[in-house]
Amino acid sequence: STQSTWGRGGGGGRDYGGGRSGGGGGGRGRGIQYLDLANGVQIKPATQSNVTLPQNYQAPLTAYGRDSAGKSATGTFEKCGGKIQGNLGTPTPVVVNMCQLDLSKSQQRCLYRVDFSPEIEQKRSRNYLVHLAFEGRDEKHAYDGDHLVYTNKKIGGQDEFDFQGEVTLVGGEKQIVVLKFVFTSHQKAALDKQSLMFFCSRYRAGMYKQRDRVAIGRDYFDFSQAENIPEHRCQLVPGLDSTIYVTEAGPVLNVDVMFKHIRTDTVWDLIKQDLTNKIPQDTIAMTYSHITVMPTYADPKRSVIIDEVVFNMTPTKSTFLDKKTGKQISYADYVRNRYNIQNGDLGHPQPLLKSISRKERDADGNPKVSYFIPSLCHMTGQTDDMKKDTRRARDLIRRTALDPAQRLSRISASLGSIINNAQFKEETTPWQLNINNAFMEIPARRLPAPQLSNGRGPIQINDMRESWDIKFEWPMFKASAFDNWAVIAPNTQSHEVQEFITQIMKVSGDLNIPAQYPTFYDTNDTRARGYLDVLRGRVTQQRPTFVMVVIQRTSDEPYKSVKKFLSQTAGVPSQVVTLFNISKDPLLKATKVLVQMNCKAGGAPWNVDLKLGAPTMFVGLDIHHGGDLEHKGGSTAAYVASMDKDITKFYSRTFAVKAKEQIFVPAVANQGLKELTIEAIKSFKDLNKVAPKLIVVYRDGGSEGELEPIEKAEASQFEKAIRELNIDCKLVFFVISKKIRTRFFALDRPGGRAVANPPPGTIVDRCIINNSLPEFYLVCQSVNQGSATPTKYDKIYDTANLNADTLHMYTYGLAHTYFNWNGTIRTPSVTKYASTLAKFTGQTLGGGEVASALFRSLHYL
């Protein structure tokens, strides 16, 4: 079939009885459900840019003139190859949440640098002084809050201009400040970095001036539209995210809605509860370090990261120097006097929350330290326990997962209210910076689905979901034998355990998996120690090739201890299930669990025909930051490489990287990408009797501003490995971006007014792609709830020069081979495997690598 079908991504995480390998369903679907747009939503076909586009790569910019990682990056990628614009697939119209910007009509500007003598730290004072300098003058000006001032003409026709103003210092003392303006350049109405930065500065200033939305960090939220959810003690505040891209169609403004999750109970409420439960202060301090909170009294509102809970400081007894009075004042008295807050908890002996600024410095040049009162702070975001609450998650998704028509309508209404706001227009209109809120209709295609096969032959794929069922008489493409395996449980003779194993033996024939009854081992102690005693003793003597462990409930222990021993010490693949899971619909669970066990033991439920022209190794890379409570700050990199043409065998490795480092820089010398690539190529050659002729890397994560460092630090390591082995092998290196605000919506027809989520296989490789760096957007997954988000692929290194259609089909085909889900996922499977492995190693294994016997298995599914 040349038509792709609908599916859904997912899977991963702990085993606990089958993962998420079930969904999808076969048979006929309902078809694409198109929804009518609100009358106010405008859509226009994208037009060709009438300005000269930059030749060098320009990273997307937020309204703050920085990319998503806080950088402002440009670059050249000399070995990125040509554009990857293909022709394969069925043409289909889509609308994207982007609006074209016309900066060609903006006025020519003069750029001045302004210096303050003496230097003024407070931004408000600097703004006041610059305002005074232009008061009564006929030049229009725009100040970026730092050292840049834009004017519509030279100040008094001169290159230099001095002004003397007065500000009030701490304690009421007056200070004379001299401002020196020095002309630096003329800026023309052209599309370059300076014009983009200027637009960002005016957009940011306009957003700051308008009062309908409140700034929290770099984003703006409308608290008048906040939805309180009392049953979950939180509120959802809608906001707007804005990003500027330089594309083939010129500069575009990408706008999307977002939601801020804010708890309605205070941090002090939570700490009090912990203290009542006699939780030690050290544990409380660890729990609340690195959380993000929002002080209730801050104006403008902002969020801060808490670095430490300081129990030896209190709001009433701890003091600091009040800059206005020059006297010491307690934190409680300060908020009472400054913000007129009369909070009953201010007098309680609560600790203070310490925050160390990542940007601001004090007078001595040290990072600025601030303290906050817990009873006046609300946590933002969700804890791990909240995310595990399925009822809570369903309630929040129901409120935030907007369908395509709802999302476009809300974006349109929000953007329209901003660009028509009088205060916002004061910053953009004088410079003829015009923003329209018409979304772009752009060309797209739907790629054909690749051919999948199981042990019997080609798989019948659901033509509306890009998914398939593993059901009765569904032979595995590749089966592993379970003739020497063990089961450990608190009571192996219990009805639940025996019934579950009976069902596994029953479905093993339908799945064509050779299986003998396991050896059973009882543990009288359900704690980690009891399981480990059995594993170290009788199970080790048996030397099984696979171990199933039954625990009573989902919990960190004994799960972590069991996994560490079996993965790192014994080197045996394992499956952990809970009594609760296996007792519910044991036949269905047995099918899912046995399929997963088969994958972990080296088998595969299906394969994909990618029509590879030469021996090819696909590599997925990802980094997990954090680890568990005992390994805070640890970062683990994962490397997963395919080993065969069917994409059923994999080589999986991990290594430690520098804490919180986004680039693959190994924490230990000679244990990084080059070394693992050498080992992966050797493993590939050992299995196939030939080295790969092509390596295609999919690197997950990394912001647009980090593309050049990734090319230099990571792609180069693959080339070094190839040279060291002296093999003839080409390299293609993609950086994958999933956390983007770009969204596609399928139109019912060209110029239509009804939208739906795009079906899997929808690709966009024209119009909104970067004008200088080869990239494409691809939707692989089916989305039944909310709005689909594509994945962006930036090709930063290429020595293979394959045609675009081939690379597109490789990428799309790999999204069909994540064996924990019977359908397509968002990214190539090797990337998802790397993500799962990195998280498993960081959170469960404490960052340590598994025994070498498991390098060639998907033991972490």
pLDDT tens across 244-268, in order? Answer: 888 888 889 999 999 999 999 899 9
Q: Which of 800, 794, 683, 672 is nearest to 731 (CA)?
A: 800
Specify the pLDDT at position 555.
Answer: 83
The pLDDT confidence band at residue 640, using thresholds 50, 70 and 90, is: very high
DSSP output for 545-579: SEEEEEESSS-STTHHHHHHIIIIII---EEEEEH
> Average model confidence (pLDDT) for the chain?
86
Name the percent of the chain lying above pLDDT 90.
Answer: 55
- Angstrom CA distances, 847 to 176, 502, 840, stand at 57, 36, 9
CA distance 178 to 165: 6
pLDDT number for residue 708: 86
Place of tokens 């809570």: 392
Kindly state the tokens that stand for 511: 């799945």
Asked if 764 and 437 count as a contact pair (C-beta separation under 8 A), the reply is no
pLDDT for 19 beyond 60 = no
What's the average model confidence in pLDDT over 72-81?
Answer: 71
Which region holds residue 330: left if phi is over 0, alpha if psi is between -120 and 50, else beta?
beta
- pLDDT reading at 28 higher than 90: no
Cβ atoms within 10 A of the Cβ of 159, count?
Answer: 13
What average pLDDT does range 48-72 have in this prediction? 59
Q: 515, 481 in Cβ contact below 8 A?
A: yes
**Average pLDDT, integer, range 814-833:** 95
Task: Kindly state the average pLDDT of the residues 273-283.
Answer: 91
pLDDT tens digits along 756-767: 999 999 999 999
| Model pLDDT, residue 645 | 96
Residue 771, C-beta contacts closer than 8 angstroms, at least 6 positions apart: 53, 54, 246, 247, 248
| Residue scoring higher pLDDT (30 or 858) | 858
Residue with tokens 């903006």: 106
Q: Cα torsion at 758, 762, 768, 769 (round to 10°)?
A: 150
Question: pLDDT at residue 817 above 70?
Answer: yes
**pLDDT at residue 798 is higher than 80:** yes
What is the residue-wise DSSP string for 634-680? EEEEEEEEE-STTS--EEEEEEEE-TT-SS--BSSTT-SHHHHHHHH
Q: What pLDDT was estimated at residue 45?
A: 93
pLDDT of residue 430: 86
Q: Report residue 569 as tokens.
A: 């010490």
Where does the pLDDT of residue 108 fall: very low under 50, low under 70, confident under 90, or very high at 90 and above?
confident
Residue 70 confidence (pLDDT) above 60: no
Average pLDDT for 86-94 = 95
pLDDT at 631: 45
Summarised one tens digit per residue, pLDDT across range 129-165 is: 999 999 999 999 999 888 899 998 999 999 999 999 9
pLDDT band at 290 (very low <50, low <70, confident <90, very high): confident
The stretch 619-637 carries a mean pLDDT of 73
pLDDT at residue 115 tops 80:
yes
pLDDT for res 202: 87
Q: Would the pLDDT of 300 be above 70?
A: no
Higher pLDDT: 584 or 30? It is 584
Over 50: is that where the pLDDT of 22 sits?
no
At residue 531, the pLDDT reads 93
Band of the pLDDT at 768, cuts 50, 70, 90?
very high
Which pLDDT score is estimated for 382? Answer: 81
- pLDDT of 659 reads 76
pLDDT band at 187 (very low <50, low <70, confident <90, very high): confident
Between 574 and 73, whose confidence is greater? Answer: 574
Query: Is 3 a residue whose pLDDT tops 60?
Result: no
Q: Are 293 and 399 within 8 A, CB to CB?
A: no
Task: Please compute the mean of the pLDDT values over residues 799-814 and round it to a whole number.
Answer: 96
Element of type H or E holding 586? helix 586-600
Mean pLDDT of 403-422: 92
Higher pLDDT, 17 or 31: 31
Whether 120 has a pLDDT exceeding 80, the answer reads: yes
CB 698 within 8 A of CB 830: yes
Highest mean pLDDT among 9-13, 360-364, 430-434: 430-434
pLDDT at 103: 76
Supply the DSSP symbol for 59: -
Cα Rg of the chain, angstroms: 30
Q: Is the pLDDT of residue 808 over 80?
A: yes
Whether the predicted pLDDT of 630 surpasses 70: no
| Backbone φ and ψ of 749, nearest 5° | -165, 165
Q: Edge-to-edge strand order for the sheet containing 546-551?
A: 519-522, 485-489, 546-551, 574-578
Q: How far is CA 669 from CA 16, 227, 659, 742, 812, in A?
A: 36, 51, 15, 38, 35
Least confident residue range of 10-19, 511-520, 550-559: 10-19
Residue 643 dihedral angles phi and psi, to the nearest 5°: -120, -5
Q: Quick count: other Cβ atoms within 10 Å of Cβ 814? A: 27
Range 623-629 average pLDDT: 67
Dihedral angle of Cα 264, 268, 272, 275, to the nearest 10 degrees: 130
**Segment 455-460 mean pLDDT:** 90
Under DSSP, the state recorded for 345 is G
Give the number of residues written for the chain. 861
Closest among 578, 622, 598, 616 to 514, alpha carbons compared: 598
For the segment 709-713, the average pLDDT, to the nearest whole number, is 89
**Pick from 157-161, 360-364, 600-604, 834-838: least confident:** 360-364
Q: Is the pLDDT of residue 353 over 90?
A: yes
| Measured distance CA(617)–CA(757) in Å, rounded | 32
pLDDT computed for residue 363 by the predictor: 61
**Distances in whole angstroms, Cα of residue 736 to Cα of each of 154, 421, 522, 665, 702:** 45, 37, 46, 18, 8
Element (H, E) at 583: helix 579-583
Name the percent of the chain lying above pLDDT 70: 90
How far separated are the first and last CA of the chain, in Å rounded?
31
pLDDT of residue 709: 87
In SS3 terms, 678-740 reads as HHHHHHHHHHHCCCCCEEEEEEECCCHHHHHHHHHHHHHHHHHHHHHHCCCCEEEEEEEECCC
